[in-house]
Amino acid sequence: MMEGKGRADFDSDEALRLALTHLVQIVGEAARRLSAEFRRNNPEFPWKAIVGMRHKVVHDYLNVDEEVLWKTVSVELPTLITQLEALLSRTDA
């Protein structure tokens, strides 16, 4: 979804912003549903921040800082995906 997209695309495309906001909600909801044991056993992930971002976009959506949202989807989310893929490869072995 983000391939070839830049900040200008994000700023000018409401559908893109809404889709990315929804993606952040889904990721946060998934993190929220992980067991406390799993989160404790994988402290390299910022679980509290991930869930907190979900709460922010769901409950305080009128005050979401678009700069923070952009950084989340363009920098932090790709890093998170890489980390999760590494975790999955360790657990599949």
Selected catalytic residue, list 17, 32, 33, 54: 54
- 2, pLDDT greater than 80: no
Answer whether residue 25 is part of any domain: yes
- Phi, psi dihedrals of residue 22, rounded to the nearest 5°: -65, -40
Answer whether residue 1 is part of any domain: no
54 catalytic per annotation:
yes
Selected catalytic residue, list 7, 17, 55, 59: 59
Answer whether residue 45 is part of any domain: yes
Answer whether residue 2 is part of any domain: no
Residue located via tokens 């390299």 = 44
Answer whether residue 83 is part of any domain: yes
Predicted confidence (pLDDT) per residue in 16-46, tens digit:
999 999 999 999 999 999 999 999 999 999 9
- Residue 3 has a pLDDT of 80
- Residue 93 has a pLDDT of 45
Predicted confidence (pLDDT) per residue in 49-74, tens digit:
999 999 999 998 888 999 999 999 99
Domain that holds residue 43: 10-92
Answer whether residue 52 is part of any domain: yes
55 catalytic per annotation:
no
Closest CA relative to residue 87, chosen from 22, 42, 20, 29: 42
Per-residue pLDDT band for 1 (boundaries 50, 70, 90) equals low
Q: How many domains does the chain have?
A: 1
